[in-house]
A and B are shown apart, each in its own frame.
Chain A
Amino acid sequence: MNRREFTKLGLLAGAAGIGGIPLGITRAVGQTRGGTLNTIIQPEPPILVTALNQQQPTLTLGGKIYESLLRYDFDLKPLPGLAQSWEVSPDKLTYTFKLHPNITFHDGAPLTSEDVVFSIMKVLIENHARARNTFSRVEKAEAPDPLTVVFKLKAPFAPFLTAFDCTTAPIVPKHIYEGTDYRKNPANAKAIGSGPFKLKEWVRGSHVHLVKHEGYYRPGEPVLDEIIYRVIPDSASRSVALEQGTVQLTQWTDVELFEVPRLSKLPHLTMTTKGYEFFAPHTWLEFNTRIAPMNDKRFRQAVMYAIDRKALLARIYFGLGKVATGPVSSKTKFYEKNVKAYDFSPEKAKALLDEMGLKPGADGKRVTIPYLVPPYGETHQRTSEFIRQSLARVGIDLQLQGIDVAGWAEKFSNWDFSMTATTVYQFGDPALGVSRSYVSSNIRKGILFSNTCGYSNPEVDRLFEEAAVATSDDKRQEFYSEVQKIMVEDVPVAWLLEIDYPNFMDKRLKNVVTTAIGVHDTFGTVSFG
């Protein structure tokens, strides 16, 4: 018996588990079934109903409770979810899904095609911006029999089959929501879905306790008995929790990136950056191209040359990611790698700035530009400082302005900024997650993640539109390759990195990351050993 165990026996005889490792884990050792997974949810979500709220933590937790028709492998190819098979008509206008039989909601009611049609055409279209963009293209959704759902589109929409993951199209029970004010429905507190886990208890500020859904339709799932999501607001405490074994899994930014090298060395942990393919987070410097000097293409190109993005990746992101080469993530279909390359070259940057007449003054500064530091944690702060230093070397003086989330969102979305940085998700297809940042039709004041930079190029608009409705992948690739080449020359924003977020997990954990949405998936097959 080592000291740890001894102390535990002595101290914890009365209050079992004071040492922080709940009994569920001990029980799970050496077993393949049962057990409790302890993990982190940060920040605490306001509600768990993913159809009504799509904040990051809501989606992570809600993915265990709510399912959708499909799932996606790491290459974003569809896999069966609630639907066991599906068919697309040759004209790409009709999509027919066959549901698994015997699916039940947590309250025991059966899940049928009526629930699917109701969720998608009513609840999601009303409440889910991302789903609305896709499903408002549906002309008619029908439920000819309890296990069949048919969507008829107004016009072909290529990425339609990519929109049925549980974060985009969660299915909620019609018998509970129909005819009510969805957002104020008291059942929201119970979060009744059809996923492998159901809500047992939510102690605000402390934890969310999920337990096995006994009536789950997939035989043998879920393997775990319980999942406990703990709310741990301090990043240092989160690392301690992982180190100590109090939690066995972290996701997204639970662990600050500078902790990654240290935690990676711990013998009881393993780390993977897989499971973010669907989101494919893309970080870039955003210019307000409506105002000088950001309105000059040469200035934006100079910024691309002036930043050593490899060094940024190595020093600030500890190698967790890749240098971005253009608007489309290399993890997404239709990525084009043959585009203009911006190698690190302060000389080229200076030459471009000279050429556009932006000469250095007596103090060596060519121009002073305010820069809003994105209020999303330590890594963004460090990135901003890195960029300020990089640009200072070519005479661009950035003035960093700290701000809180609401202030940042307000200024950024209302075009009241010169430069800032943002991280945007690609959602599996350029038509879902890329074009929205650049097409003229999406220049909408007051709306975040629209075309905030103010870039407008009729040729780019046309290519994106044609690519979205083209019915063959080859044709789409052609359009997307062309648009990427044009945009990389134009540099509407300065693409920095494709970020890989680390998932740390206890070595005994199996099957945590099996699809392109990683930790957002149902966890039905996750097990200890």
Chain B
Amino acid sequence: MRALALSITGNRGVAIAIAIVQWVARFVAVVLVIATFNFVLVHAAPGDPAQVMAGQSGAADEEMLTRLRAEYGLDKPYPVQLAIYLKRIVTLDLGYSYRQQRSVLSLIAERLPATLLLTCCAFLLSLSAGVSLGTLAGVRAGKWSDTALTIVSLFLYAMPVFWLGLMLVLLFSVQLDWLPAFGYVTIGVQMTPFERARDIAAHLVLPVVSLGAVHLAIYARLMRSAVIDVAHQDFIKTARAKGLRRGQIIVHHMLRNAVLPVVTVAGMQAGTLVGGAVVIETVFAWPGLGRLTFDAVLQRDYPLMLGIFLVMSVIVIGLNLLTDAIYRIVDPRVSLRAAS
């Protein structure tokens, strides 16, 4: 409110500075709250990493458990562990994974690109294909092509993502042998950068399609109903009456108005870009962050789990801001309300 008030009185520079300070303070506070919450949550579960390691090595004794617990810092009381943890976060130190014998930051940095590549491609695919198909279905509402598109999108929506992935592998890898069944890149082969890019692209196809399918269907459904909604409004009739061509009407008048609900949902999907691909990364043996998370959870690798959760929350907060910005661009009416 204060920022808004100042901006109205004209002190624009000061207003922006204050807004930024406020925003940063809020950001830090949110991150610390999230970090504390994560910590408490993670430590509330029964069992600890030392137990898991012992359970997987077929033999254990006190000495081994005591040593592992000391290494993990698990022998200190919880409040002390929490304090140490929060202090480290403030200095941007995400800690050390004893289990993997690596720093948490390097582990995350190593896996993040693969996940971003996968999820961003899936995001773009589902968004572009979903919006196009939904628009198509919307403007052809009631015709057979609309019915066909509706059935396909319902089908995709209802399909469990791991099952779709496996079916695609059976068809395109096992039967047809067109595409690799899993992995990120062909292993053990010397390749030029161009060949490598092609190879990675080939490995991307099936996981991207599987991962994108559900959201594609959601966007298509949303888009279709929004287009049908908008098509009956007065300004479209006016546009028609002005004699605009159909393509112009769809692109300039219908889409801009119909796309708002899609932006909302896309913003939510964007939030899952970082960690939301656990299942697909598992099915396709994709060396990404989702699987790193999953393994960390299974193995109770506390420093790694907490590090991933924190990085994810920071990215989600960032993406929320971006979604807000896009909203304002698509629909200028939003800005004033959002600014307060």
Show the binding face of A for B, using Cβ within 8 Å: 3-4, 7-8, 11, 14-20, 22-24, 36, 38, 43-44, 46-47, 53-56, 127, 129-130, 132-133, 183-184, 188-189, 203-207, 209, 226, 228, 230-234, 236-237, 240-241, 243-244, 246, 404-411, 413, 424-425, 444, 446-450
Contact in complex: A240, B173 (CB < 8 Å): yes
Task: Enumerate chain B residues within 8 angstroms of A36, measured Cβ to Cβ.
Answer: 188
Is the Cβ of A244 less than 8 Å from the Cβ of B174? yes
Known: A20-B181, A205-B291. A448 touches B55 (CB 8 A): yes
Enumerate chain B residues within 8 angstroms of A133, measured Cβ to Cβ. 59, 61
- Residue of A20, A188, A207 near B180 (CB, 8 A) is A20
Asked whether A18 and B180 contact (CB < 8 A) given A203-B287, A206-B287, A240-B169, the answer is: yes
Q: List 27 A-B contacts (CB under 8 A).
A: A15-B198, A16-B191, A19-B177, A20-B180, A20-B181, A20-B183, A46-B100, A53-B53, A53-B57, A54-B58, A55-B56, A183-B71, A204-B107, A204-B110, A209-B188, A228-B187, A228-B188, A233-B294, A244-B173, A244-B181, A406-B45, A406-B47, A406-B48, A410-B47, A413-B51, A446-B62, A449-B58
Bound together, the chains give a CA A4 to CA B177 distance in angstroms of 6
| Contact A237/B182 with A7-B177, A132-B63, A206-B187 known, Cβ cut-off 8 Å | yes
B39 within 8 A of A: no
Whether the pair A47, B101 counts as a contact (CB closer than 8 A) is yes
* CB <8 Å contact, B287 and A447: no
A55 touches B53 (CB 8 A): yes
Nearest A-chain residue to B181, judged by Cβ: A240
Stretch in contact with the other chain, from B29-37, B148-156, B257-265, B278-286: B278-286
A370 smallest CB distance to B (angstroms): 15
Interface size class of chain B, counting residues whose CB lies under 8 Å from the partner chain: 35 or more
Contact A237 B181 (CB under 8 A): yes
Q: In this complex, what residue of A is CB-closest to B58?
A: A425
Total A-B pairs, Cβ < 8 A:
209
Known: A22-B188, A129-B64, A207-B187. A405 touches B198 (CB 8 A): no
Whether B224 sits at the interface, judged by CB under 8 Å, is no
Interchain CB contact under 8 A, B47 and A404: yes
Residues B55-108 near A (CB distance < 8 A)? 55-65, 71, 98-101, 107
A425 CB → nearest B CB, Å: 5
Q: Is the CB of B57 within 8 A of A46?
A: no
Give Cα A36–Cα B187 distance, bound, in whole angstroms.
Answer: 11
Q: Flag whether B111 is at the interface (Cβ < 8 A).
A: yes
Interface 1/0 per residue, B170-203 and A, CB below 8 Å: 1001101111111111111101001110110011
Q: Do the beta carbons of B61 and A447 come within 8 Å of each other?
A: yes
Instruction: Take A53-B57, A406-B300 as given contacts and tell me if A230 and B176 are in contact as well, using a CB distance cutoff of 8 Å.
Output: no
Given contacts A405-B55, A407-B46, contact A237 B283 (CB under 8 A): yes
- Is there an interface contact between A23 and B61, defined as CB atoms closer than 8 Å? no
Distance between A430 CB and nearest chain B CB, rounded to angstroms: 15
> Given A8-B177, A406-B51, does the pair A444, B62 have CB atoms closer than 8 Å?
yes
In the complex, chain A residues whose CB is within 8 Å of the CB of B183:
20, 206, 230
Task: Judge whether A407 and B60 touch: CB under 8 Å.
Answer: no
Docked complex Cα distance between A241 and B80 (Å): 47
Chain A residues positioned under 8 Å from B291 (CB to CB): 205, 233
Which partner residue on chain A sits nearest B162 by CB separation?
A234
In-complex Cβ contact of B173 among A20, A129, A183, A188 (8 A): A20
| B164 is an interface residue with CB less than 8 A from chain A | no
- Could you mark each residue 274-299 of chain B with 1 if its beta carbon is under 8 Å from any beta carbon of chain A, else 0? 00000000111111100110110011
